[in-house]
Amino acid sequence: MQLCGSVMWQRGTNISWCSSSLSECFCCVTRSRAVLRRPGYDGIYTVYEAIRERRTFVSSMASLWSKISAILPPTEEQFPLQFSDKVALSVVEMLKRARQQLYGDATSASSRILTAQIILDYSWERLNTGTWRHVDKEWRRVYSYGCLFKAAAICRRSPSEEEILQAIRTCDMGLLMGAAIMENILQVIVRILQREIRTLAKEEDAHENIEAKKRKIASPHVGLIKDELSVPRIKCPSLESFNANYLLPLKPVILEGIIDHWPALNQHPWSIEYLRSVAGCRTVPVEVGSRYTDEDWSQTLLTVNEFIDRYILNEVQDSESDHKAVGYLAQHQLFDQIPELKEDIRIPDYCCLGEDDEDDITVNAWFGPKGTVSPLHQDPQQNFLAQVVGNKYIRLYSPEDTEKLYPHQSQLLHNTSQVEVESPDAERFPEFVKAPYLECVLRSGDVLFIPVKYWHYVRSLEISFSVSFWWS
């Protein structure tokens, strides 16, 4: 039987050839048009990426390990394991054992996974001891190495779709809780794994699109905003006029038209289906509970798919509670975790009026259903709140009126008001109704400038996705 022998991928001296029979393989159809592409973000040369989707499940899984081992250092000696003496020697021994198992062939999958799990469990305990601020970065690196070894062990031998999702979850834990290792290799691995999942999911896509159309979001009935209390709006102001009229005097304003060019509003409009396709299997932190000042407020980790099913579309009933719990993907640096989404947004030009480098600007995602509430609070930096999907009701109070807002006394919540803005307790907080405020409904395409320390209260009026930029 003659084998195809076409080059599948190549990196340095490592080359992989198509080993399908010449008569069955699709390569031969297009061999004359074969092109060796330059490496992309993950350093892989792929030749027949379009054809690969039509390969059998088994052969495409076999090449998954090839792709992963292609981005790992070629030999055990070249695999770095450097740690400060904060990391106990016994742990370093465990890491070396995991490395040895990675490059050896003799170990069983369960042994590899056990070694990785021990590294994960031990460093996990260090990560959960004391305050997060004081956790040594070395332990977070160890945790990331544990995630790397575990993901590699899972993907070694023809993993099922469920196992690939498990490996993605493992990498995400490393990205969320660990610290970057080996030039952010976990990010590279996730990209490879996501590609595999997408290949497998292609057949299910057509069916989903029909369902998606049925879920069109109905426009909410929005209460009237009184004119004299509304936040001023301005369309595409110049840098100078924004600086003079709003930034220097620290006055809030809604900037219109300044994110019209975002791919999130044009080429890749952010919809539930799009978010599922780009980030569905990725693990993210979710806040559960009506507001973060409540006693039963908590945080949990879910995949984006689970979050959408349970809290956005409310398809999964929570049998424990009579009313539906609110879940909010809030204050998360999603765009560091999922670079594809970062390409759909831009840092507003007006941030250049600040002192920060672009890298120091904190970009957070805020994605949730109707009814998410951020209690009245203030932040220590300037904020551009860009509304991408849906509408939010926002109320603003000046820092000059802080005494009328009754901030909590505790250290943890001293930047948060005790007052429930939309139903204030007049007996406990009599001065609150006297405090002047501005309000608005922030719509898709709007950007609200919240000056530093300006008190703000936010409630979503429908399914909403906002992006905030904290700068100084």
Partner 1 sequence: EDSCVRLAGFCASISSNESFSPVTVNTSGCQDAAISETHLTLALPGRIESWHGQLGHGGLISEEEPRTVEALWGMTMRSVAAGGWHSICVGGGDLYVWGWNESGQLGLPSRGLRKDEELHEEVFISIQAFPALVDVSPSCEISTVSCGSRHTAAVTTGYLYTWGWEYGQLGHQTTSSLDEPQCVEFFRNENLHVVDVVCGSWNTFTAAVKK
C-beta of 242 vs 292, nearer to partner 1: 292
Beta bridge partners of 386: 447, 467
C-beta of 238 vs 319, nearer to partner 1: 319
Give the angle subtended at the CA of 438 by the CAs of 433 and 442, to the nearest 5°. Answer: 130
**Interatomic CA distance for residues 139 and 125, integer angstroms:** 10
CB of 412 to partner 1, least distance (A): 8
CB of 129 to partner 1, least distance (A): 6
C-beta of 262 vs 311, nearer to partner 1: 311
| Orientation of helix 89-103 relative to helix 137-154, angle to 10° | 30
- The tokens describing 43, both together, are 């350093």
Map residues 317-356 to x or -, x wherever contact with partner 1 holds by CB under 8 A: --xx------------------------------------
Which among 155, 96, 91 has a CA at the least distance from the CA of 121?
91
129 binds partner 1 (CB under 8 A): yes
C-beta of 323 vs 434, nearer to partner 1: 323
C-beta of 82 vs 410, nearer to partner 1: 410
C-beta of 108 vs 128, nearer to partner 1: 128
C-beta of 411 vs 423, nearer to partner 1: 411
CB of 433 to partner 1, least distance (A): 32
CB of 117 to partner 1, least distance (A): 9
In order, the DSSP letters of 417-452 are BSS-TTS--TTT-TTGGGS--EEEEE-TTEEEEE-T
- Chain positions 89 to 128 lying near partner 1, rule: CB under 8 A, are 118, 121, 125, 128
**Interatomic CA distance for residues 336 and 143, integer angstroms:** 18
Residues 6+ apart with CB under 8 A from 421: 375, 376, 395, 457
**Interatomic CA distance for residues 420 and 429, integer angstroms:** 10
- The tokens describing 452, both together, are 């530093």
DSSP letter for 325, please. P
- Chain positions 301 to 320 lying near partner 1, rule: CB under 8 A, are 319-320
CB of 339 to partner 1, least distance (A): 32
Count of residues interacting with partner 1 (CB under 8 A): 8
Which among 357, 335, 336 has a CA at the least distance from the CA of 344?
335
Q: Which residues bind partner 1 (CB under 8 A)?
A: 118, 121, 125, 128-130, 319-320
